[in-house]
Amino acid sequence: MDQPAEILVTNARLLTCEDRTVVDSGAVVVSGDRIAWVGPDALVPAGLRTGATVVDAGGHTVMPGLVDPHMHISFGEAASEEELYLHTPMGYRAIRATVDARRVLLAGVTTSCDPGGPRGIATAVRDAIDVGLIEGPRMAAAGRQMTTQQGIGDTLPAPLGDAPTSMGAIVRSRDEIIQVIRDEVKEGVDMVKVAGSGPGTTEYGAFTLDELRLITSEVHRLDRPTAIHARSRQSIADAVEAGFDWLMHASYMDAATAEKVAERRIPIVPAMTLLVNFLEAGPGWMPQDALDGIKRELDSAVDVLGKAWRNGVSLVAGSESGFAMTPYGEWHTREIELFVDLLGMPHFDALLCMTKHAGSAIPRFGHEVGTLSPGKYADLLVIDGKPDENVKVLGQRNRLLMIMKGGKFVDLSVSVPERIMQSYERTRIYTRGLHRRKS
């Protein structure tokens, strides 16, 4: 589609998401890939109005494109650890991700961050989107998650170690920590991700405080931010002490750590969506003890994160899309629904967690996305509804009337291929029962 250089979006119920202001008759002027002007319709400067292509928003809500700071573009809606870590050739994962990226964009997510996956895929998808080879949200990407044998990057049986297809990079010494960081930075990551705790752990961390300090000092020396998967109490406490820039999950954070997080203004990316989706869809598919563990974690997370938010901690809403429980394009806004329903956050505040706050927390685009402000990328949505009064409307696809990314209209009529599994994507189970001899 040919794109006019100047676009005037008029007759808008405008949410810039810089704050909680609603402008009833608002306008946005787009020049190239940037926002040139934002404000009341009546005040659009005459010089900007002349010659612009006018898009009438019909009185609908115009807001910034959504920012999902937590989705894994390479995971392919995995249903098992074997599938995630072992099956599916790397090339196929990358091709699959190019289609999944479009699903994410069509949900109104114009910027995202992939905090970890198998070597080289998220950065390649990011780069292909950047130059227009494929359609997707603008992306920031981490690479493999640095892990010890106690972190989520190493959950396969010991003899397998870290398979080349794994999202984990096992480090066995301080030298290996330094080496993996340098390898990741060489591969062009925007952020270095650490697996700070393991599956099912509520207490201890995967790394010592001393090792975490080594990680942050080397990553920061190379001018990258650090993110840590930290569910257990000790892993969060140590991550804060070591100076991590992003805390992911933080479900079992203790009160003293929560105070430091508030003081130091470290954003938390909770991803309660995955827990809630497991509890909703898991019964019948999952063992009861696993579901019980998830329920305990969710209860703790609601308590801990609710208090943290009321104490001034910035919560950033990411969906953890990429698992079978969180297919691409479907669950991106559920996290802000949970902020409202479980934490008691007002709708407009929750909306800011997926616009302004997510935009300023995300690496690479810190000051260029998340709000409608002059100079930022012209990423905007037209919504039939008032997401500032009810965030649930963002999850209803038929209410998403227009998506603009970088000044270009996204074609909403395009059909994305239906997801059909290749035989090698799933763990190969021979049978689900025993064939007993009848005698």
Residue ranges binding Zn ion (CB under 5 A): 320
Cβ atoms of 259 and 307 within 8 Å: the answer is no
Residue closer to Zn ion, measured from CB, 320 or 425: 320
Give the nearer residue to Zn ion in terms of CB position, either 218 or 320. Answer: 320
Q: Please tell me whether residue 199 adopts helix, strand or coil conformation.
A: coil
Question: CA 222 to CA 244: how far, in whole Å?
Answer: 14
CB atoms closer than 10 angstroms to residue 406: 18
How far is C-alpha 15 from the chain's CA centre? Answer: 22
Q: What are phi and psi of 40, to 5 degrees?
A: -65, 140
Q: How far is the CB of 423 from Zn ion (least distance, A)?
A: 27
Residues 72 and 116: beta-carbon distance below 8 Å: yes
Asked if 84 and 154 count as a contact pair (C-beta separation under 8 A), the reply is no
Residue written as token pair 């000092």: 217
Can you tell me which residue has the tokens 């392919």?
76
In the complex, minimum distance from the CB of residue 346 to Zn ion, in angstroms, rounded to a whole number: 27
Of 154 and 320, CB closest to Zn ion = 320
Q: Which is nearer to Zn ion, 255 or 281 (CB)?
A: 281
Residue with smallest beta-carbon separation from Zn ion: 320
Q: In whole angstroms, how close is the CB of 276 to Zn ion at the nearest point? A: 15
Q: State the minimum distance, in angstroms, from the CB of residue 320 to Zn ion.
A: 5
Reduce the DSSP state of residue 369 to 3 states and report it. Answer: coil
Q: How far is the CB of 115 from Zn ion (least distance, A)?
A: 6
Distance CA 177, CA 188 (A): 17
Least distance from Zn ion to the Cβ atom of residue 97, Å: 15
Choose between 52 and 194: whose C-beta lies nearer to Zn ion.
194
245 or 320: CB nearest Zn ion: 320
Residue 24 carries which DSSP code?
E
In 231-302, where do the E strands start and end? 246-249, 268-269
In the complex, minimum distance from the CB of residue 382 to Zn ion, in angstroms, rounded to a whole number: 30
Gap between the Cα atoms of 120 and 230, Å rounded: 23
Q: Among residues 316 and 381, whose Cβ is nearest to Zn ion?
A: 316
User: Positive or negative CA dihedral for 371, 372, 375, 380?
Assistant: positive
